[in-house]
């Protein structure tokens, strides 16, 4: 279905998203058709305590669509879903990362680039302050 919206694709993915303890490899194979080539398998380890049942409005930035995802049971824990439209018009998930617990999404910690999330504000990314 080329006409699926970014939200449709995200909701489909969230309905099939792995639960805590599920195999990342099995989940990756099941969801692969709607994952962008740049998607990092480790993002599938960002699992909900219950289910990801809250999705924000869509922010469209060029060919990217961004949503904030959370759980009604745990509204303080936020994740950022980024989807991209490929050359055939299909939306695919590029990344799904939790808000950084060190800098709370700002990318800045004590006036320096946050070295937990790589200063992106989301997920974990190796980096070294020099
Ligand atoms: Zn951070």
- Residue 78's domain comprises 6-98
Q: What is the whole-number distance in angstroms between the Cα of residue 99 and the centre of ligand 1?
A: 8
Q: Which H or E run contains 61?
A: strand 59-61
The CATH number assigned to the domain holding 89 equals: 3.10.450
Indicate if 50 and 107 belong to the same structural domain.
Answer: no
Indicate if 86 and 108 belong to the same structural domain.
Answer: no
Indicate if 31 and 58 belong to the same structural domain.
Answer: yes
In a domain, 1, yes or no: no
pLDDT score recorded for residue 65: 98
| pLDDT (tens place) for every residue of the chain, 130 residues total | 457 999 999 999 999 999 999 999 999 999 999 999 999 999 999 999 999 999 999 999 999 999 999 999 999 999 999 999 999 999 999 999 999 999 999 999 999 999 999 999 999 998 889 9
Q: What is the whole-number distance in angstroms between the Cα of residue 23 and the centre of ligand 1?
A: 27
Indicate if 92 and 109 belong to the same structural domain.
Answer: no
Indicate if 120 and 73 belong to the same structural domain.
Answer: no
Indicate if 91 and 62 belong to the same structural domain.
Answer: yes
pTM over 0.75: yes
Q: Are 93 and 69 in contact (CB under 8 A)?
A: no
Indicate if 48 and 77 belong to the same structural domain.
Answer: yes
Indicate if 22 and 84 belong to the same structural domain.
Answer: yes
> How many separate domains does the chain show?
2
Q: What is the whole-number distance in angstroms between the Cα of residue 125 and the centre of ligand 1?
A: 9
Q: What is the whole-number distance in angstroms between the Cα of residue 108 and the centre of ligand 1?
A: 6
Measured CA to CA in angstroms, residue 50 lies from 73, 75, 111, 118, 125 at distances of 8, 12, 35, 28, 25
Q: What is the whole-number distance in angstroms between the Cα of residue 80 and the centre of ligand 1?
A: 13
In a domain, 38, yes or no: yes
Q: What is the whole-number distance in angstroms between the Cα of residue 33 and the centre of ligand 1?
A: 30
Closest by Cα among 11, 120, 6, 119 to 66:
6
pLDDT score recorded for residue 127: 85
Indicate if 91 and 80 belong to the same structural domain.
Answer: yes
Other C-beta atoms closer than 10 Å to the C-beta of 40 total 14
């Amino acid at each position: 279905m080329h006409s699926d919206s970014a939200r449709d694709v995200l909701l489909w993915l969230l309905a099939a998203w792995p639960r805590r303890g599920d195999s990342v490899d099995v989940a990756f194979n099941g969801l692969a058709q709607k994952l962008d080539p740049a998607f990092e398998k480790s993002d599938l380890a960002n699992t909900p305590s219950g289910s990801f049942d809250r999705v924000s409005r869509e922010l469209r930035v060029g060919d990217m669509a961004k949503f904030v995802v959370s759980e009604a049971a745990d509204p303080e824990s936020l994740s950022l879903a980024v989807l991209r439209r490929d050359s055939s018009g299909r939306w695919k998930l590029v990344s799904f990362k939790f808000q950084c617990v060190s800098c709370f999404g700002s990318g800045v910690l004590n006036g320096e680039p946050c070295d937990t999330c790589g200063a992106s504000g989301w997920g974990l990314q190796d980096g070294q302050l020099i």
